[in-house]
Amino acid sequence: MIVAAALPLVAEFGAAVTTSQIARAAGIGEATIFRAFKDKDEVLDACVAETVGTDHVLRELASISLDEPIATRLTEAAEALRAHLERMGTVIGALHASGHLRGRAPGPAARSAGDAPPPDARARSFAALRHAIIELLEPDRAAFRLSPEKVASAFLALLFTRQQSPAGERDDTPLTPEELISVLLHGTLDAGPGSA
């Protein structure tokens, strides 16, 4: 409850957030924070661990109805993952910019998830996300030319490399989730006359 209340404040204020602001947001007394955490740094480390963790986004992916059409399922998955990545970037960026993550050894909560999680933790997180996407694809296995495992890998690769074009390019907006799913499911060729 404390970490959930702290996350939006950390995203806004970085390490400058106060424990009294966190207590007000959580609807508790400030002393309650110090019964659960040693100090503010430990609260901030717990926010880092929560942010880089995948439990929340995995629950969102599991809640997507398999009765929806495949394009709808994947669009919802892309939106959930995009929100997860944005939240992670916002919180980590705010803490880094305010000096919390520079030049210090992270506390126990951050060490378990890490400023940057250890390679094995990243691999486990990616595998869990990939498995969740495979489950969303499974009802349509027969409709794909590739296995759901390969389609899930392509989906995640498109999603994680979806970046803005360099400034000055004709269209510098990133693909929307709908456009990303359209490219994944239908490619980029126009189905009109003369298309291969």
> What is the CATH classification number for the domain harbouring 88?
1.10.357.10
The mean pLDDT of 99-116, rounded to a whole number, is 52
- With residues binned 3-state (H G I as helix, E B as strand, rest as coil), the percentages for the chain, rounded to 5, are 70, 0, 30
Domain-located, residue 191: no
The mean pLDDT of 159-172, rounded to a whole number, is 61
**pLDDT for residue 116:** 54
Lowest mean pLDDT among 18-32, 127-141, 182-196: 182-196
Contacts of 75 by beta carbon, 8 Å cutoff, 6+ apart:
177, 178, 181
Domain-located, residue 15: yes
Domain-located, residue 10: yes
Q: How far is it, in rounded angstroms, from Cα 38 to Cα 49? A: 16
**DSSP 8-state symbol, 168:** T
**pLDDT for residue 164:** 45
List the domain range (segments joined by +) for residue 55. 2-164+171-186
Q: How far is it, in rounded angstroms, from Cα 133 to Cα 152? A: 6
Domain-located, residue 195: no
Q: Band of the pLDDT at 98, cuts 50, 70, 90? A: confident
**pLDDT for residue 107:** 47
Q: Provide the whole-model pTM.
A: 0.75
The mean pLDDT of 162-167, rounded to a whole number, is 52
**pLDDT for residue 7:** 93
Name the percent of the chain lying above pLDDT 90: 58
Q: What is the pLDDT of residues 122-163, one digit of tens each?
A: 788 889 999 999 999 999 999 999 999 999 999 999 888 765
Residue 172 has pLDDT above 70, yes or no: no
Is residue 151 within 8 Å of residue 137, measured between CB atoms?
A: yes
Domain-located, residue 59: yes
Domain-located, residue 141: yes
The mean pLDDT of 11-22, rounded to a whole number, is 92
Q: How many domains does the chain have?
A: 1
119 token code pair:
């390679």
